[in-house]
Every structure is written in C-alpha cells, then in structure tokens.
Amino acid sequence: MKIESTVNAVRNQVKEWRKSGLTVGFVPTMGYLHEGHASLIQAARENNDKVVVSIFVNPMQFGPTEDLASYPRDLEKDSALCASLGADLIFHPEPEEMYHEGFSSYVDMDVLTQELCGLSRPVHFRGVCTVVCKLFHIVAPDRAYFGQKDAQQLAVIRHMADDLNMDIEIVGCPIVREEDGLAKSSRNTYLSEDERRAALILSKSIFLGKELVEKGETSTEKIVDAMKERIASEPLARIDYVKAVDGRTMQQIQTVQKPMLVAIAVYIGSTRLIDNFIWE
C-alpha cells in the first residue's frame, strides 16, 4: 500500500490503473479511523479492483469555533488499518496541497443544506462539497463510499454528483455502532468516562423514535417530542436539534412518510455528536 501526499502522485497512479482497465473505489475520510470507516473500505474492497482512501482533516468544513485544531489524528494507526483491509493507496495531503494561495472556487448547495447540520454549521456543507468535488477530480473513482452516519452529507453528495453530472456511483453504507448502541465516531474520543455513558442517550432516543414509527405513529411532532424528552432525561446532554425530514429534500415534514430521515445532534459536554435513522 502506498501513501501519497501530492495530487500529481495520486493522478499518475490512478491513470496507470485505468490504462490496465482496473476499476477504482474511493473512501474519503478525515482519519482517526474506526470500524465505521473500515466498513466503507471493506465495501470498496469487495466491488473494485483498486481502493483509495483519503485522510484529510478539511479546514474548509470547520466553523471558526469548531474543533479543527483538536480533531484527533493518527496516520500510523490509520495506515496499518488501511493496509490490513487491503487498501491500495492512501491520499494524505497537507492543507496547502489542497488549497493553494489564492484558492477561491467553491461548490455550494441550496435546499438540502438548509436544515439539520446545515443550520447549525453554516459553512460546513460548502466545505464538504468543495473538498469532495476536488477529491473526486483527483481520484476519478468509479464508486465512492459514504456512511449513513452522516445522512445529510450522504444526501448532499448524491445530489451534488447528480446535479453536476459526476460519473461516479455514490454508495451509502449502514451506521456501525459500539456494542452498547453508540454510533462509532472519531469524536467519541473526546468523551470522558461519564460523558461516554451519557452519550448513550443519542442511540437510545434514536431507537425510541424508530420504535414509535414501527408501532404506527404518524405524527412526526409526537415522535420528535418523545425523543427530546428522552434526551432531556440525561443531565449531561444538550440538544442541538431533533428533526424529522423528507429523506430526499431534507425539508421538515409533519407526517411520517417514506423516505424519512429522523436526525439528531446533541452536545455531550462540549462534544457535538450526531445520530439518525432512515425510514424507507
């Protein structure tokens, strides 16, 4: 497995593979990899001749008061995991390689980014769309793999690929959870022991919401209220949002429908965590 830090090196390698008629699967990440990332790499491994993983903590998708500086990083451990999963290439650029001086072109999106994390993190999806678009141009994959854990991001990327005629299949992969239910996240590492216990309130409220839908509840207000009440029972938790939205447009809905996304963002102490379920 190779580790490259320049755009040109990745381009040259992918061109060589293409000349031999090989297909390329791509997994974009910010590193500090866990089993959630591993599931994407495995899915890419199963369906492509070559697998590229990018590890890049993208400054453009962090707001000024967010955790860019403290975001966890461990290239050595990440490389070992990627190699063990059979990845062929890691792209690990420095920010200067991705954003040269005078950089001023952006990919932005309306509608889908107006709710949920787009509301709480105003610059986030512009940063995500811009970097993913750049990475797609650099890696030129046949397929790209994203987790349902970041459900709005997955919807936004699908929409961007469609709007901008990107000839790349976007593959969504299910949420990988800890044994006790907490969705795996690089940010879980910020949690103290007490906070780790308190963080279970996210998956508990997600499972509660899902159960209500399965039992036939049709009012999204009732579902959201029940979930909020459950989260409020945890003193260390502070709700950012709990919302039910149309699974395609990400706009709020009053009545349960398919596809529906029920998504939450909750602060546990100062750590903001997200979780969701899809009804389709």
Characterize the bridge pairing of strands 143-147 and 260-268: unpaired
Residue from 25, 147, 209, 247 touching ligand AMP (CB under 6 A): that is 147
What's at 212, amino acid-wise?
L
In this chain, which residue has its C-beta nearest to ligand AMP?
Answer: 147
Residue from 29, 42, 54, 203 touching ligand AMP (CB under 6 A): that is 29
Q: Which is nearer to ligand AMP, 36 or 93 (CB)?
A: 36
279: which DSSP letter? E
Question: Mapping DSSP to helix (H, G, I), strand (E, B) and coil, where does residue 217 land?
Answer: coil
Determine the Cα–Cα distance for residues 165 and 80; give it in Å rounded to an integer.
35
Tokens found for residue 120: 């709480």
Determine the Cα–Cα distance for residues 259 and 41; give it in Å rounded to an integer.
26
159 flagged as catalytic = no
Q: Which is nearer to ligand AMP, 62 or 256 (CB)?
A: 62
Determine the Cα–Cα distance for residues 44 and 89; give it in Å rounded to an integer.
12
Contact code string over 165-184 relative to ligand AMP, x by CB under 6 A: --------x-xx------xx
Under the binding rule (CB under 6 A), the answer on residue 136 touching ligand AMP is no
Contact code string over 34-63 relative to ligand AMP, x by CB under 6 A: --xx-xx-----------------------
Peptide bond just before 259 cis, omega within 30 deg: yes
Residue from 130, 186, 203, 220 touching ligand AMP (CB under 6 A): that is 186
Active-site option among 37, 92, 124, 159: 37
The sign of the dihedral angle between the CA atoms of 65, 57, 116, 275 is negative
Under the binding rule (CB under 6 A), the answer on residue 156 touching ligand AMP is no
Question: Mapping DSSP to helix (H, G, I), strand (E, B) and coil, where does residue 14 land?
Answer: helix
In angstroms, what is the minimal distance from the CB of 46 to ligand AMP?
A: 16
Under the binding rule (CB under 6 A), the answer on residue 152 touching ligand AMP is no
Length of the chain: 280
In angstroms, what is the minimal distance from the CB of 101 to ligand AMP?
A: 26
Determine the Cα–Cα distance for residues 232 and 199; give it in Å rounded to an integer.
12
Tokens found for residue 197: 């216990």
Q: Which is nearer to ligand AMP, 88 or 150 (CB)?
A: 150
Under the binding rule (CB under 6 A), the answer on residue 150 touching ligand AMP is yes
Under the binding rule (CB under 6 A), the answer on residue 161 touching ligand AMP is no
Closest by CA to 196, choosing from 117, 275, 277, 273, is: 273
**Binding region for ligand AMP (CB under 6 A):** 29-30, 36-37, 39-40, 146-147, 149-150, 173, 175-176, 183-186
Give catalytic residue positions. Answer: 37
